[in-house]
Amino acid sequence: MEPDVCSAKGCRAAATRALAWNNPKIHTPDRRKIWLACDEHKDSLGSFLSARGFLQETAPHDGTLQPR
Ligand SMILES: [Zn+2]
């Protein structure tokens, strides 16, 4: 099985963090989207989401956060 890779555009690095987010304009409140991030992109992806008010929580990418 392929390792999970970072969600940043064009990045193929292995993910180390999971970022849970929800866009209230298009998602119902019970939905949870997951982006994965490598060490290099965890800050930029996190600030992209938090600047828009979408970020719910982050955790190590160990399967704790699952999409729903
Ligand atoms: Zn990356």
Q: How far is the CA of 31 from the centre of ligand 1 (A)?
A: 24
Q: How far is the CA of 65 from the centre of ligand 1 (A)?
A: 18
Domain definitions of the chain by residue range: 17-60
Q: How far is the CA of 24 from the centre of ligand 1 (A)?
A: 25
d(Cα 17, Cα 46) in Å, to the nearest integer?
10
Q: How far is the CA of 50 from the centre of ligand 1 (A)?
A: 17
- pLDDT for the residue 3: 76
Tens-place pLDDT, residues 2-58: 679 999 999 999 999 999 999 999 999 999 999 999 999 999 999 999 999 999 999
SS3 per residue for 11-55: CCCECCEEEEECCCCCCCCCCCEEEEECCCCHHHHHHHHHHCCCE
Structure-token pair, residue 4:
């999970």
Q: How far is the CA of 13 from the centre of ligand 1 (A)?
A: 5
- What is this structure's pTM? 0.90
